[in-house]
Structure 1
Amino acid sequence: MNSNNVRHTHRSTAFPCLAACSAASLFMLGLSSASAAEPLKVCFLYSNPIGESGWTYQHELARKELVAALGDKISTKYVENIAEGPDAERVVRNFVKDGCKLIFTPSFGFMEPTLKVARTAPKIIFMNGTGYKTATNVGTYNARWYEGRYLEGVIAGHMTKNNVVGYVGAFPIPEVLQGVNAFALGMKSANPKAQLRLIWVNTWYDPGKERDAANALIKLGSDTLAYATSGVSIVTTGEEKKVYTLGYYSNMSKFGPTTNLTSITQNWGNFYIKVVNEVLADKWKPESVMGSLSDGIIKLAPLNSAIPAEVRNQVETLTKEIASGQRQIFTGPLVDQQGTTRVPAGQHISPDDLANMNYLVQGVDGLMPKN
């Protein structure tokens, strides 16, 4: 019997059942409260070991921030070091079976497994990091890493002594190509004589391959190194060989205290908190979110004291200009390695062309892989 039935029952019959009705109501209220208090289960799939730095480490820091902020409103779970492909699909399916209601899969290679599982679990919300495909229950998130890359390129252009800078590329996907090209543009703006030598390793994380690539670039004359992978071995190699490095994902200064000039850092904590709050409030939508310098998802780590004051000041000014939108990085004339004009003079790159970037700009010494 619900409260409306009690309220409309004749007074002579209502009083005899008051105690029983009250007990039943309290029981139902208890069930309702328990249901309402059930925490949202949020699960994370990591492609690499968490370690002490890098892509996965930063996402794990963000997960911990999420737990600290939302407490018993949520419960979380993570699985690390899962290869992109069938293993990823298996783990995501297990997340669904385990009762995960919101699943984060922060890796480009997790995009297709995420979409495949999402089609079979329409009531579960998925967020894929660095992918570009959305669905009714799948959103994406990434960042304008190229903003930080441009700044690192400016620093490299000023700091190289022999005008040769090395770059270790992961995979030739748009996100990485944006970074290489932005770095080259920043470097050339500071030092038109500088060359950028590029080596591909076709991995996000392989300490041995990363170290070998760093040593190869040093042998080719590079006295400054940047990279798009997730390990620390390029920074430690730079420290051993007394070659400057520009880090990625985490503050890498502890791995290269004298030679690491700065790093592009990623800060996902506030973003994760925002997404979870949207899900809790039933306000989540399948959007494609792009972090940037303006919202703090991307930041440069503190600059090494070896960087001269005038360069520090220039980087600070450029950071403000990029964050405010005053400076657009991919502004024409933008010409690729084959001499084709990709962005005419006076124009900015279109969002579609940026998202599908598949070329290297002039000034990059390295080839696009042939699949």
Structure 2
Amino acid sequence: MKSRVTIGTLTAVVIFFVLLYVVFAKVDNVESVKKTKSQKLRVGFVLLSDTADNGWNETIYKGIRNACDSLGVQRNLVIDIPEERIPLANAVTGMIADSLKVIVLTSYNYPILIKDIIESHPEVTFYGINWEYDAPNYKAYFARIYQARYLAGIVAGAMTKTNHVGFVAAMKNIQVYRGLNAFILGVQSVNPRAKVFVRWTNSWNEGNMETENANKLIDSSGIDVIAFHQDRAFIIEVAEKRGLYCIGNHVENNRFSPRMLTSIAINWGIIYKDFIQDYIQKKDNENMDYWVGLEKDAVGLAFYSSEVPDSVKILVNAAAEKIKAGYNVFSGRIEDVEGKIRSEEGETISDEVLHNEMNWLIKGAIEP
């Protein structure tokens, strides 16, 4: 009897400790799962300027914030990084050292400047707005902003009285050429007699250079509408002082005057959410790039001035619906300023050419 009690007691003790282990193991496992779930994806973003520049970088920041907040992603920002090798490399290597596995580059030349860093860190996925560079761990993204520039061109072409429109362009790269050419096509679509006078600053954000080139266009070309591809609002200020109509670039609302007719706009939140969500769900792959436009409401015109009549808005809306239905603005016979035919009737310029080969100006552009 004594022996039986001892064995029974030992058995009960063993069962007790086994149950205790199972309970604590389950609790520990639950805590581990909770901890894993609470760990947010951390995404690094490198920006060219500050996040309140009333232009390109401010709209990008708002898109980053909206996308990350909606996805529950932690954003890690580094700002005021010029398109120069050393500061950019320092910013990116710092993010890599901080164990970030996703890094988003928000200026055109960034990927080219640090391609050695990108290629030596295959464990990190990089996203950039440049299609001229390629690597297994690099994915290109951008908005089809040329569609919005085409619509802005319609406004400019319809509103000019002198048939002379000005455009202050930044870098001579494919992104700028593509948008400028689309703008010219938009102008010509409603006003075949109009000319577009172009000056280059070779900078994204240089106030004195932009102001000087805008004034030279006004003084020498007889323009009465001016548009631009620059990061900030210096051209708008010149147009206000000189009494010209202006087309804005990444200005979300009209805080100037009725002479600012409209502005192109990008909804970066749609684009960032698109590819970050794919990364989280492991849907991205090395062949996947992201280029979205009017079909997803990722680009468009931000507003209309009271100076823009309904008849012009109707023209723009009709063109926008046509693009959403699949129309490519780079269709039909297109000739460049050198007389070379880039597209014949019935043809369309492919995305591959738009990405990699559009380093020329369309007929109708004048570089005084």
* TM-score normalised according to structure 1 size: 0.89
Is contact 1:235-1:252 (8 Å) kept? no
Q: 1:156-197: CA deviations, max 9, x gaps?
A: 111111111110111121111111211112212212221111
Query: Compared with structure 1, are the counterparts of its residues 333 and 278 closer, same or farther at alpha carbon in structure 2 (3 Å cutoff)?
Result: closer
Match of 1:334 in 2: 334
Query: Compared with structure 1, are the counterparts of its residues 281 and 92 closer, same or farther at alpha carbon in structure 2 (3 Å cutoff)?
Result: same
Query: Which deviates further from its counterpart, 302-311 or 198-207?
Result: 302-311
Look up the equivalent residue of 2:77 and give its one-letter code. Answer: Y
Q: What number of residue pairs does the alignment pair up?
A: 354
Is contact 2:142-2:271 (8 Å) kept? no
- Alpha-carbon shift at residue 114 of structure 1 (Å): 4.8
> Which secondary structure does the structure 2 equivalent of 1:108 belong to?
coil
Query: Compared with structure 1, are the counterparts of its residues 279 and 208 closer, same or farther at alpha carbon in structure 2 (3 Å cutoff)?
Result: same
Query: Compared with structure 1, are the counterparts of its residues 11 and 323 closer, same or farther at alpha carbon in structure 2 (3 Å cutoff)?
Result: farther
Q: 1:245-304: CA deviations, max 9, x gaps?
A: 1111232521x3221111110111122223222222233323221121111110111211
Q: Take 2:296 and 2:165, find their aligned partners in 1: how far apart are those partners?
A: 30
Is contact 2:163-2:195 (8 Å) kept? yes
Q: Does 1:261 align with 2:256?
A: no
> Which secondary structure does the structure 1 equivalent of 2:321 belong to?
helix
Query: Which deviates further from its counterpart, 203-212 or 346-355?
Result: 346-355
> Which secondary structure does the structure 2 equivalent of 1:304 belong to?
coil
Look up the equivalent residue of 1:351 and give its one-letter code. Answer: D
Question: Kindly, what percent of the aligned residue pairs are identical?
Answer: 27
Q: Take 2:187 and 2:361, find their aligned partners in 1: how far apart are those partners?
A: 14
Match of 1:33 in 2: 34
Is contact 1:105-1:114 (8 Å) kept? no
Q: Take 1:121 and 1:262, find their aligned partners in 2: how far apart are those partners?
A: 43
Which is higher, the Rg of structure 1 or of structure 2?
A: 2
Q: Take 2:219 and 2:57, find their aligned partners in 1: how far apart are those partners?
A: 30
Is contact 1:142-1:291 (8 Å) kept? yes
Query: Compared with structure 1, are the counterparts of its residues 24 and 192 closer, same or farther at alpha carbon in structure 2 (3 Å cutoff)?
Result: closer
Look up the equivalent residue of 1:342 and give its one-letter code. Answer: R
Match of 2:215 in 1: 215
Alignment of structure 1 residues 1-371 onto 2, 5 Å:
13-71=14-72, 74-86=73-85, 87-220=87-220, 221-251=222-252, 253-254=254-255, 256-286=256-286, 287-325=288-326, 327-355=327-355, 356-366=357-367
Q: Take 1:20 and 1:149, find their aligned partners in 2: how far apart are those partners?
A: 66
Is contact 2:147-2:300 (8 Å) kept? no
Look up the equivalent residue of 2:43 and give its one-letter code. Answer: V
Q: 1:194-226: CA deviations, max 9, x gaps?
A: 111100000111122111111111112111101
Q: Take 1:33 and 1:242, find their aligned partners in 2: how far apart are those partners?
A: 61
- Alpha-carbon shift at residue 12 of structure 1 (Å): 8.7
Match of 1:6 in 2: none
Is contact 1:58-1:249 (8 Å) kept? yes
> Superposition RMSD on alpha carbons, in Å?
2.0
> Which secondary structure does the structure 2 equivalent of 1:321 belong to?
helix
Residue segments in structure 2 that go unaligned for 5+ positions in a row: 1-10
Query: Which deviates further from its counterpart, 226-235 or 206-215?
Result: 206-215
**Divergent runs of 4+, >6 A:** none
Look up the equivalent residue of 2:109 and give its one-letter code. Answer: G
- Alpha-carbon shift at residue 78 of structure 1 (Å): 0.6
- Alpha-carbon shift at residue 364 of structure 1 (Å): 0.5
Is contact 1:132-1:140 (8 Å) kept? no
Q: Take 1:76 and 1:246, find their aligned partners in 2: how far apart are those partners?
A: 32
Query: Compared with structure 1, are the counterparts of its residues 331 and 282 closer, same or farther at alpha carbon in structure 2 (3 Å cutoff)?
Result: closer
> Which secondary structure does the structure 2 equivalent of 1:227 belong to?
strand
Is contact 2:253-2:303 (8 Å) kept? no
Is contact 1:107-1:131 (8 Å) kept? no
> Which secondary structure does the structure 2 equivalent of 1:262 belong to?
strand
> Which secondary structure does the structure 2 equivalent of 1:338 belong to?
coil
Q: Take 1:41 and 1:338, find their aligned partners in 2: how far apart are those partners?
A: 48
Q: Take 1:262 and 1:161, find their aligned partners in 2: how far apart are those partners?
A: 17
- Alpha-carbon shift at residue 52 of structure 1 (Å): 4.0
- Alpha-carbon shift at residue 25 of structure 1 (Å): 4.1
Look up the equivalent residue of 1:308 and give its one-letter code. Answer: P
Q: 1:89-113: CA deviations, max 9, x gaps?
A: 2101101111222111111111124
Look up the equivalent residue of 1:302 and give its one-letter code. Answer: F
* TM-score normalised according to structure 2 size: 0.90
Is contact 1:44-1:78 (8 Å) kept? yes
Query: Compared with structure 1, are the counterparts of its residues 67 and 186 closer, same or farther at alpha carbon in structure 2 (3 Å cutoff)?
Result: closer
Q: Take 1:342 and 1:274, find their aligned partners in 2: how far apart are those partners?
A: 33
> Which secondary structure does the structure 1 equivalent of 2:109 belong to?
helix
- Alpha-carbon shift at residue 230 of structure 1 (Å): 0.7
